[in-house]
A = this chain, B = another copy of it.
Amino acid sequence: MSDDERAVRSAQLLQAARQLFQVSQELPSVAAIAQAAGVAKGSVYLFFGSKEEIFIALLEDSFASLLAVIIPGVHGLTADPRAAAEDFSLLYAYALANVPELLPLAAMANSVLEKNLPVAKMLAFKERLASGLEAAAAALSAGQLGLHRMQAIDLLLRTWSLTLGLWQALDFPQELRPHLKVSPLDVFDRDFFVEVSDSVRVMWIGTLTG
Chain A interface category by residue count: 35 or more
State whether the Cβ of A206 lies closer than 8 Å to any Cβ in chain B. Answer: yes
Q: Name the B residues within 8 Å of A6 (CB-CB).
A: none
Q: Is the CB of A161 within 8 A of B162?
A: yes
Query: Given B109, B130, B153, which contacts A168 in the complex, CB threshold below 8 Å?
Result: B109
Contact A134–B187 (Cβ < 8 Å): yes
Q: Which of B119, B153, B165, B184 contacts A130 (CB 8 A)?
A: B184
User: Judging by beta carbons under 8 Å apart, are A157 and B173 in contact?
Assistant: no
Contact with B along A55-84 (1 / 0, CB 8 A): 000000000000000000000000000000
> Which 4 pairs of residues, A with B, have the shortest CB-CB distance?
A206-B206, A161-B165, A165-B165, A164-B165
Contacts of A163 in B (CB 8 A): 165
Complex contacts, A130 vs chain B, CB 8 Å: 184-188
User: Roughly how many angstroms separate A168 CA and B106 CA in the complex, as a whole number?
Assistant: 9
In the complex, chain B residues whose CB is within 8 Å of the CB of A207 = 202, 206
